[in-house]
């Protein structure tokens, strides 16, 4: 019995060894897309890819949409900035909150190759969470403007 049965035989060309090794790695397209960072998506919709990537392919990528690369880029930038503020425990309230929710809704709605009247799967997935976040944000904004303190579930003021 051989100690390392998967080891390439002596004299196997490098390219054949690489192909054999890659054949043993199972990665789905969905996994590749899911592992990409928000920074990647923000970058790929950047101005430097306008002519080389998006000019020739945007309409084919989103055939039933009139979305522009710059519109997507600005919405991704808003999401990216809000994400960074939240990561640093900075507040995302009032206008910035509404802009962030609007940007998320835009991306969920527009980056889907379906017809305009169809509901995008990402929109369906995010709908309940976006509604909850929007209601909570509106309530917090109302309380901050009225001078009342935010309440916990039991009705007691937070921090009181």
pLDDT tens for 114-135 read 665 666 666 777 788 888 888 8
pTM for this prediction: 0.63
Instruction: Count Cβ atoms within 10 A of the Cβ of residue 28 and give its class: 0-12 exposed, 13-18 middle, 19 or more buried.
Output: exposed
pLDDT tens digits, one per residue of 7-28: 777 888 989 888 888 888 887 7
The enclosing H or E element of 17 equals: helix 14-23
CA 124 – CA 112 distance, rounded (Å): 12
pLDDT tens digits, one per residue of 38-93: 999 899 999 999 988 888 787 777 766 778 889 999 999 999 999 999 999 998 88
Split at pLDDT 50, 70, 90, the class of 158 is low
Place of tokens 């890659």: 22
Q: Is residue 42 within 8 Å of 76, Cβ to Cβ?
A: yes
CA 133 – CA 94 distance, rounded (Å): 13
């Amino acid at each position: 019995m051989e100690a390392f049965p998967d080891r390439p035989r002596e004299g196997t060309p490098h390219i054949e060894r690489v192909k054999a090794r890659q054949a043993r790695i199972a990665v789905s397209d969905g996994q590749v897309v899911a592992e990409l960072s928000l920074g990647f998506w923000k970058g790929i919709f950047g101005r430097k890819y306008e002519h080389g990537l998006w000019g020739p392919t945007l309409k084919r990528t989103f055939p039933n949409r009139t979305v522009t690369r710059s519109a997507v880029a600005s919405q991704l930038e808003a999401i990216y900035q809000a994400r960074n503020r939240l990561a640093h425990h900075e507040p995302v309230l009032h206008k910035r909150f509404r802009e962030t929710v609007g940007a998320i809704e835009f991306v969920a709605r527009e980056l889907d190759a379906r017809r305009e009247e169809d509901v995008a799967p990402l929109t369906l997935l995010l709908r309940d969470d976006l509604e909850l976040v929007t209601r909570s944000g509106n309530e917090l904004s109302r309380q901050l403007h009225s001078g009342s303190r935010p309440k916990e579930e039991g009705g007691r003021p937070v921090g009181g």
